[in-house]
Chain A
Amino acid sequence: MFLSRRLTGKYASLWVSLLAILMTLAAASILLLAMGKNPLIAFRSFLQGCGMIPKENYGGGSGMLTDLLDFLNYLAPLILASLAFIAAFKAGLFNIGIAGQMLLAGFTATVLVGYNKGLSAVVAKPLVLLIGLLVGGMTGALIGWLKYRFNIHEVVSTIMLNYIISYLTGFFINNNYVDMMTRNSKVCSPDSRLTLTNIMIGDLKCKIPLGLIIAILIALLVSFLFRKTVLGFEIKAVGQNRRCSEYTGIRVNRTILLSMGLSGAIAGLAGVAYYLGYTNTIIPKTLPGMGYDSISVALLGSGAPIGSIFAAIVVSVFQQGANYMSSTVGVAKEIASLITGILLLFASCGNYMKYKAARKMQLAEDLRRTEGKEAKAL
């Protein structure tokens, strides 16, 4: 009853997310116990790997702060990617192609700015962001155009584009930009990177993720867009009922194009934050797994822009802490993706949880009324 009341109240979405996390932790614990490991130690290692709890010992030049900053460096593109998913999701569109849009934007920015040694940091960094916005935005708009002009389902077109982009950029990297040692693309110039490296704080060598500032800024902007502006309202209306919106005079085609363009643009930002911030190199023919993780984040945050920041933290803890957890507990680090998948599974049942709770409340209410009537009749 306690839960039912929470799940039908004002903060229902928050409670659904919390419940999903709890159920995931329970499922992960069972899995770890079945493998003969102690889940509590595993969960502590996840947090230690992210710099939230101090480890037993650190190497020279690293500490809890460096771990935390590495974690934030990973967090920034994930927040942006989940915001990209939300921007399209509100219009009832599924942008499965975030991974491809990230890769294309990251690749273009790397080639145009990252390899251009002449640019100073003041010019290069904004230029990287601009390229990310434009390339991602145009890819997204193309998908929106294909959707309303030719009736091609966005899930299919984005996935086709994902593969095309992955092969195309892979071809160019292998042909022109490959680093013979690592078999990845050559690294970008430090001036163009969105992460400041080798900053000394005390005696710790730290990375400062500038992408995080952008991510939080964009989260606030998207939140404002959907709360206070006409465009945001129209996007939401189209997502709720396309025919009704058309009837009330909203230009549906334009809205679809804009929301897909916006989604792509934010995905492009995520791409530059990932490739010119977090990794600093591109592995040819590999789509970033973050593109799919972003969907888990968006669902866990129940489609709220600010909520997705917190959801991104939860998902990042598993993804980023997996390496350290793997070394201490000895479980393959693939378990991070498995936990994310289970989390997604429970989060997608959110509506059913709410529905069940509402039904239970209704039944209790009915019972109370009939009992009241019977008492009167007596």
Chain B
Amino acid sequence: MNKVFTDGLSFALPLLIIAVGALYSEKSGVTNLAAEGFQGVGAFFGALAATLLGPVIGNGNQAIIYIAILCAALGGALFSLIHGLLCIRFRANQVISGVVINILAVALTAFFTSAANSAISGNASNKFVLDVSTRFTIPLLSSIPWIGGIFTDMYPFEIMIAVLVVFLWYLLNRTRFGMRLRACGENPQAVDAAGANVNRIRWIAVMISGALCGIGGICFAYSMIGNFSPSIYQGFGYLAIAAMIFGNWKIGPTTLACLIFGLAKSGGLQLCIAAKLPSNYMDLFLMLPYILTLLLLVFFSKKNHPPKAAGEPFDKSKR
């Protein structure tokens, strides 16, 4: 039971930061299907930094993780410029742009991972091996019955993400910048009339989105997968988008959706282990989050209110 909460949370929180990233972009009026690509490329930059710095700082030094997270955020933001360029500057179809970004991300990271590996170590392997992040347990809270598992074996990044999400909620809902950002997704013409620069706000939103997705990606690489390889593209980004839709483009409900996914995933695995099924049956339980997503969307999609102007490039001359 404890394990369900521990693993569930370490899956849900990186998912949440990706979902919030996608949410920022969509709230500003730029449809973001590129979350999958952003998180992969972010993780690539983070892992590259960790691999390069590893020998310098000393392997096993936990400080590398924080540098990697920072680099992942920067790399994600850098890569998201392509999405911004296509959607905001070149007025391409935003759904297509998202798909383009995802395809490009897989190809770019696969190519440059083997290129970087053959330059560093001489063999063209397609993965960067990473250390696993240390875990810690909060003494008193972890002994609470039932929910103690939440505070057991936590990754440091879980706390970081939780704090970051609260801050991002504040930024989006309680500041002038956040209000303008949301208005850009509902009625960009009004924002323009009020004297703000719609496209600049959208550029910032897309870059925030890229940075947040990058953080989510490197957290997955450091916790669940333990290395950076093409297996980072397991559809976390899409799952996060589904969580965002399920959460009706609001940070609070999106958090809930991510927690449900996380618990469904870890719960399914523990169920499989508890029932002593052969390892082949694991696949059936790995399907659970995706089936759950579809079912939940069936019940909750009808009443959704996506941002009104999402998907449309801003045209000053329209009203």
Contacts and interface: CB of A to CB of B under 8 A. Distances in A.
Interface of A: 35, 94, 96, 146, 150-153, 155-157, 159-164, 167-168, 170-171, 174-175, 285, 292, 295-296, 299, 332, 334-335, 337-338, 340-342, 344-345, 348-349, 351-352, 355
Contacts of A96: 99
A349 B241 contact: no
A177 to B, nearest CB: 12
B33 interface: yes
A37 to B, nearest CB: 12
21 contacts: A94-B99, A151-B304, A152-B297, A156-B238, A156-B245, A156-B293, A159-B235, A164-B290, A164-B291, A164-B294, A167-B284, A167-B290, A170-B283, A292-B103, A295-B99, A295-B103, A299-B96, A332-B114, A337-B107, A344-B103, A352-B90
Contacts of B103: 292, 295-296, 337, 340-341, 344
Contacts, number: 123
Q: A interface, by DSSP: helix, strand, loop or mixed? A: helix
B91 interface: yes
Q: B interface, by DSSP: helix, strand, loop or mixed? A: helix
B90 A334 contact: no
Contact of A171 (B100, B111, B284, B298): B284
Given A150-B302, A285-B283, A348-B93, A332 B86 contact: no
Contacts of B304: 151
Contact of A164 (B238, B245, B287): B287
The list of the 4 closest CB pairs from A to B, nearest first, reads A337-B107, A341-B104, A352-B90, A171-B283
B95 A94 contact: yes
Most buried by A among B97, B103, B281: B103
B235 A163 contact: yes
Given A335-B111, A340-B107, A159 B238 contact: yes
B147 interface: no
Nearest to B234: A163
Nearest to B37: A341
A334 B126 CA distance: 10
A348 B83 CA distance: 11
Contacts of B115: 35, 332
Interface in B99-125: 99-100, 102-104, 106-108, 110-111, 114-115, 124
A19 to B, nearest CB: 14
A175 B82 contact: no
A88 to B, nearest CB: 12
Contacts of A341: 100, 103-104, 106-108
